[in-house]
């Protein structure tokens, strides 16, 4: 990696992580099936009342996406930690924070993007109209990368710890709450006939803050975990 430019190294790292994820299709499918099952249980349990379903749809779909995205956080750095890849990344001359960002991007492409794609199909069972479904997609496109960025910090902090999964949930869930509130608020605003621009703007701001802070904080946490 010493003779390669930063974009080439980051691109190769992303491609490697995506290929590894595709070879472990069961892990990706588990996340998708979990999202589908959790989102589908609520209409079955509550009943066919469309007004109630429209009311709960934003919260249910976004909470299901949040929980599904957490399933893959433990695997974000675990395999690289075991086989020594993380130690090699620390020895490269490229900035570790940007390499971490490449890994987070690959993680989102294989775990977050499938949730964004399938969410409009699930919104049909909640009787959401096209406008609300479009805002749901926009909220997920802004929210799920933010969840991956925040989750990466927790995954790095708990790397190699016994019982790290439970500790990871305790660390990241409080930080996920603002994303959940504003994403659900955007969909609810459109469903109520109001504009969603303010909520989406705040989601965008949260994403930009996470994009700047999370890779650096994750890199620092990885260095501490490997010392």
pLDDT at 125: 84
pLDDT band at 224; cut points 50, 70, 90:
confident
Short-list 167, 146, 144, 147, CA closest to 157: 167
Per-residue tokens: 219: 């890199």
pLDDT at 4: 62
What's the sign of the alpha-carbon dihedral 151, 77, 22, 92?
positive
Spatial separation of the C-alpha atoms in residues 117 and 139, rounded to whole Å = 12
With a cut of 70, say whether residue 3 has pLDDT above it. no
How do residues 23-65 score in pLDDT, each as one tens digit? 888 888 888 899 999 888 888 877 777 788 888 888 888 888 8
* 32-51 exposure pattern, b = at least 16 Cβ within 10 A, e = fewer: eebbbebbeebbeeeeeeee
The residue whose two tokens read 């969909």 is: 187
How do residues 122-179 score in pLDDT, each as one tens digit? 888 888 888 888 898 999 999 999 999 999 998 888 887 776 677 888 888 899 999 9
Spatial separation of the C-alpha atoms in residues 52 and 107, rounded to whole Å = 34
pLDDT at 152: 92
Whole-number percent of the chain with pLDDT over 90? 29
pLDDT at 153: 92
Spatial separation of the C-alpha atoms in residues 190 and 33, rounded to whole Å = 28
Spatial separation of the C-alpha atoms in residues 219 and 80, rounded to whole Å = 14
Whole-number percent of the chain with pLDDT over 70? 97
pLDDT band at 203; cut points 50, 70, 90:
very high
With a cut of 90, say whether residue 226 has pLDDT above it. no
Kindly report the pTM of this predicted structure: 0.88
List the chain domain ranges: 6-226
Per-residue tokens: 92: 């490269």
């Amino acid at each position: 990696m010493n003779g390669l430019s930063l974009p080439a190294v980051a691109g190769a790292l992303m491609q490697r992580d995506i290929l590894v994820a595709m070879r472990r299709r069961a892990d990706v499918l588990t996340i998708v099936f979990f999202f589908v099952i959790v989102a589908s249980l609520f209409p079955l349990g509550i009943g066919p009342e469309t007004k109630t379903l429209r009311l709960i749809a934003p919260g249910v779909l976004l909470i299901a996406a949040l929980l599904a995205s957490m399933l893959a956080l433990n695997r974000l750095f675990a395999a690289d930690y075991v086989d020594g890849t993380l130690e090699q990344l620390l020895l490269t001359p490229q900035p570790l924070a940007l390499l971490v960002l490449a890994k987070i991007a690959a993680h989102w492409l294989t775990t977050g993007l499938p949730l964004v794609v399938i969410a409009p199909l699930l919104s049909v069972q909640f009787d959401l109209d096209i406008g609300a479904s479009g805002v749901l997609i926009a909220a997920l496109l802004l929210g799920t990368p933010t969840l991956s960025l925040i989750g990466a910090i927790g995954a790095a902090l708990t790397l190699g710890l016994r019982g790290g999964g439970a500790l990871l949930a305790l660390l990241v869930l409080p930080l996920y709450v603002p994303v959940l509130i504003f994403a659900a608020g955007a969909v609810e605003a459109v469903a109520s006939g109001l504009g969603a621009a303010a909520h989406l703007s705040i989601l965008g701001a949260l994403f930009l803050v996470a994009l700047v802070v999370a890779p650096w904080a994750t890199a620092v946490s990885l260095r501490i975990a490997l010392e």
